[in-house]
A and B are shown apart, each in its own frame.
Chain A
Amino acid sequence: MSLPDKTIAMEEAIAAIPDGATVMVGGFGVPGTPFTLIRELVRQGKRNLTLIKNDANEAGMGIDHLIMAGQVRKLIVTHLGLNGNAIAAMNEGRIEVEFCAQGILAERIRAGGAGLQAILTDIGLDTELAAGKQVVEMDGKRLLVEPAIRADVALIHADCADPSGNLTYLATARNFNPPMAMAAARVLVEAERLVPLGDISPDAVETPGVFVDHVCPLIQISEEYGVVRR
């Protein structure tokens, strides 16, 4: 028996994303942001996107290119304080922004990837973030119902992939990538290194290839991935 080869040209993988798609994007700051997949999404001009991401990167980087090109309808994030363009777009009503507590966004995505309907939590009770959310009582405690999130597409950055989509990550470039890689109808991975089947030990696999649809090896690591001198 052998496992399927999921490698694909990036152009072709991104072309399958329709306008209006909901797209999860990995990354927390620079580490783990799939800059090259995002660039291809910009190049192909996909529109009316809903993006789910921890943050909005910084001006001139990552999903800021999509926001500035007017390709984003809605952003679901935990924080966008490092991107003045995103704040301006929000304040001027050019994009709709939904804020979520960071760990709750991660857990809603995890639930989506784990086939669960929702999670129950006391995080955010008595704050603005609870507005409009369903409250239930359990064991005498008030809890918010936070619906699971799934997306049409997840854009993932991995350090290493094999052709069947087994993935490993580096350092703080994990962040939202592992849960997002389980929570979309189509999971698209850019990998800094593509290694032959069997080179990643089964013990070392962090995201099993069964969750992954497409693997795009990166031909070069652009400047966007580098150390930011602020």
Chain B
Amino acid sequence: MSDGNFQDPRIRMVARAAREIAPGMVVNLGIGLPTKVIDHLSGDFPVCLHTENGMAGIGPTLPYEKADRNLIDAGGAYVSPIPGSSYFDSTVSFALVRSGRLDLTMLGAFEVAENGDLANWKIPGKFSPGAGGAIELAQKARRVVVLTTHTDRKGNPKLLRHCTLPLTAKGHVARIFTDLAVVDVTPRGFQLVELAGGITAREVQEATGATLLLPTGNIPTF
């Protein structure tokens, strides 16, 4: 077992998700937790990060005193260019997304279903700010993974048999990274792939609103 037990579970989950990014990929990181994945990529790691508001090749986030007022990511953070970066308008930005140039997107979630359905934009009556670019990202990235806490603030499971909230996209989520586990969406349902250090498969099952398929043999930890 690694010393991961002593780390903040959120940081550990984000660090694990960062390992999902292979060299050479074009990647879009959703607003919130997924954006933090950047902190776990080394400066010389070859990856092209895309943001919906019109940039490919995102460099480090800048403090306010060094920020360029014309250069933000889709979440409003002040970012910087790196050698080879490009800027473009919103039509080009989404042409890139819809035409399959995006190898991977990492998104947040309110709910994920065992068939890969994703709900992450609206809680009727409580929260309906609009989906922004999430529908196109979730529907068209070549691989869609979710980064989320395993349960909501009240302890209710977010991984479910069926989504109850309005969908962002149907059947496109391939993998879920949580503070407890890595879970794949398979034709037979949720498959437990890895466990967070110190967490048991039984604990993950208890926090999940659908049946988890367990691997045979030892379950790797992160």
Question: Which of B36-44, B49-57, B151-159, B192-200 participates in binding chain A?
Answer: B49-57
Bound Cα distance from A175 to B98, whole angstroms? 17
Residues of B close to A78: CB separation below 8 A: 130-133
Bound Cα distance from A208 to B98, whole angstroms? 27
Instruction: Contact check, A106 vs B132: say whether CB atoms are below 8 A apart.
Output: no
Residues of A close to B221: CB separation below 8 A: none
Task: Give min CB distance, B76 to chain A, whole Å.
Answer: 5
Bound Cα distance from A54 to B52, whole angstroms? 11
- Which residues 189-230 in A have Cβ within 8 Å of B in the complex? 225-230
Q: Nearest 8 CB-CB pairs, A to B?
A: A103-B94, A81-B129, A79-B132, A106-B90, A102-B133, A79-B130, A171-B70, A171-B71
Instruction: Contact check, A172 vs B70: say whether CB atoms are below 8 A apart.
Output: yes
Residues of B close to A123: CB separation below 8 A: 98, 135-136, 139-140
Instruction: Contact check, B133 vs A174: say whether CB atoms are below 8 A apart.
Output: no
B47 at the interface (CB under 8 A from A): no
A interface, size bucket: 35 or more
Residues of A close to B130: CB separation below 8 A: 77-81, 97, 99
Q: Which of B54, B98, B133 contacts A172 (CB 8 A)?
A: B54
- Which residues 86-116 in B have Cβ within 8 Å of A in the complex? 87-91, 93-95, 97-98
Task: Give min CB distance, B23 to chain A, whole Å.
Answer: 26
Residues of B close to A90: CB separation below 8 A: 128
B68 at the interface (CB under 8 A from A): yes
Residues of B close to A178: CB separation below 8 A: 89, 91
Residues of A close to B68: CB separation below 8 A: 171
Instruction: Contact check, B135 vs A175: say whether CB atoms are below 8 A apart.
Output: no
Q: Would you mind naming 7 contact pairs between A and B with Cβ atoms under 8 Å apart?
A: A28-B72, A30-B72, A101-B135, A107-B91, A122-B139, A123-B136, A176-B89
Bound Cα distance from A189 to B81, whole angstroms? 27
Residues of B close to A171: CB separation below 8 A: 55, 68, 70-71, 81, 87
Task: Give min CB distance, A164 to chain B, whole Å.
Answer: 21
Bound Cα distance from A185 to B130, whole angstroms? 28
Q: Mark A112-128, 1 if CB is under 8 A from B, else 0.
A: 00000000011111111
Instruction: Contact check, B94 vs A106: say whether CB atoms are below 8 A apart.
Output: yes
Instruction: Contact check, B169 vs A127: say whether CB atoms are below 8 A apart.
Output: yes
Residues of B close to A101: CB separation below 8 A: 131, 133, 135-136
Q: Given contacts A106-B94, A172-B70, list 7 more A-B pairs with CB under 8 A.
A: A29-B72, A78-B131, A79-B132, A103-B94, A128-B166, A172-B51, A172-B71
Residues of A close to B129: CB separation below 8 A: 79-81, 87
CB closest residue in chain A, given B166: A128
Q: Which of A110, A122, A124 contacts B91 (CB 8 A)?
A: A110
Bound Cα distance from A177 to B91, whole angstroms? 10
Q: Which residues of A contact B (CB under 8 A)?
A: 28-32, 54-55, 77-82, 87, 90, 97, 99, 101-107, 109-110, 121-129, 159, 169-179, 225-230
Known pairs A126-B170, A127-B167, A175-B90; A99 contacts B70 (CB<8 A): no
Known pairs A123-B136, A127-B169; A102 contacts B52 (CB<8 A): yes
Task: Give min CB distance, A146 to chain B, whole Å.
Answer: 12
Task: Give min CB distance, B135 to chain A, whole Å.
Answer: 5
Q: Mark B56-69, 1 if CB is under 8 A from A, else 0.
A: 00000000100111
Known pairs A79-B131, A103-B133, A227-B69; A176 contacts B90 (CB<8 A): yes
Bound Cα distance from A99 to B131, whole angstroms? 8
B149 at the interface (CB under 8 A from A): no
Bound Cα distance from A159 to B69, whole angstroms? 12
Instruction: Contact check, B131 vs A103: say whether CB atoms are below 8 A apart.
Output: no
Instruction: Contact check, A31 vs B70: say whether CB atoms are below 8 A apart.
Output: yes
Residues of B close to A87: CB separation below 8 A: 129
Q: Mark B73-84, 1 if CB is under 8 A from A, else 0.
A: 110101001000
Known pairs A78-B132, A80-B130, A227-B67; A103 contacts B87 (CB<8 A): no
